Amino acid sequence: MSTDKVSLVLSSGGARGLAHLGVIESLVNDQVEISEISGSSIGSVIAVIYASGELNVFKDWIFNLDKMGVFSYMDFSVSGQGLLKGDKVFNQLKKIIPDRKIEDLNIPVSVVTTNISQNKEEVIRSGSMYDAIRASCSIPGLVKPFVRNENEFVDGGVLNPLPINALQSKDNIITVNLNAQPIQKVKNLSGEKSGFYSYFSIFRDFFINQDVKKSLGFYDITYRSVHLMQNQLANFQINNHKTWMNINIPCDSCFPLEFYRAKEMVNLGSKIYYQTKKNY
């Protein structure tokens, strides 16, 4: 590599975000200094945990999660604002990684979220790191919005899945886009593995029977449409900023709630990083 210091941008993308760990570890192994980092949704989680110096603690925890372990963190909500409250998993993270102020972390971090009360993108660079990532990870319809300063916040990926613009330094930018083109061409929008079925894959072995699995074409179209939209938003960011390296993780490499595939996704992130590096 021709540089030893980079600014890193980590995109939204659910459990695919564990590939961010593989990219970061590979950069560290290559003795590349990450001088600044920005993230949206799961990208903000990995950004903050890396900047806190607790990446290995997080890895030890996430590597030990199986399907039932992931399911155990699903705190269902009756509020009507989202299927899940989203508190249980963050309470567990606080037990293993203490909360800190973002401005006190080891490197500058920018967390991107969507202020749904004011209909705008918002960048958080100060205050509780858990409040920031909780605000950035509230997937509409799945996790209830997070209330901060009397405003409601939803997932940063709604408006900006790849927040290059949030970086304060624009030198040697590396992006990791989790919403890149799929590995396989989609042939049938009404097949058995619908997007809805896949999105909620953690629930399927518990609640969804075979007849329902085969009849979710509407949700399948919605799921894939969201990925197309997010990839276009990511490309808009890339086309409007000078980046040094763009690492693309296929959107069908892992579904959003499959956090039990952590080791596989970390290895994939590292593999694609080194494949991409050959071109630079």
Give the integer Cα–Cα distance in Å for 195 and 19: 20
Active site residue 155: yes
Residues 10, 40: Cα–Cα separation, whole Å: 7
Annotated catalytic, 79?
no
Sequence-separated contacts (24+) of 117-120 with Cβ below 8 Å? 117/150, 117/151, 117/152, 118/151, 120/159
State how far the Cα of 74 lies from the Cα of 88, in Å rounded to an integer.
7
Bridge-based pairing state of the strands 33-40 and 5-10: parallel
Q: In angstroms, rounded to a whole number, what is the distance separating the alpha carbons of residues 180 and 163? A: 15
| CB 165 within 8 Å of CB 3 | no
Whose structure tokens read 């001088």?
Answer: 35
Catalytic one among 11, 12, 26, 155? Answer: 155
* Residue the block writes with tokens 């004011």: 118
SS (H, E, C) 135-159: HHCCCCEEECCEEECCEEEECHHHC
Pairing relationship of beta strands 151-154 and 146-148 according to DSSP bridges: antiparallel
Collapsing DSSP states into helix, strand and coil, what is residue 213? helix
**Alpha-carbon distance 261 to 223, whole Å?**
20
Angstrom CA distances, 159 to 12, 47, 115, 153, 226, stand at 11, 18, 10, 12, 12
- Catalytic residue, candidates 7, 41, 198, 270: 41
Give me the active site residues, please. 41, 155
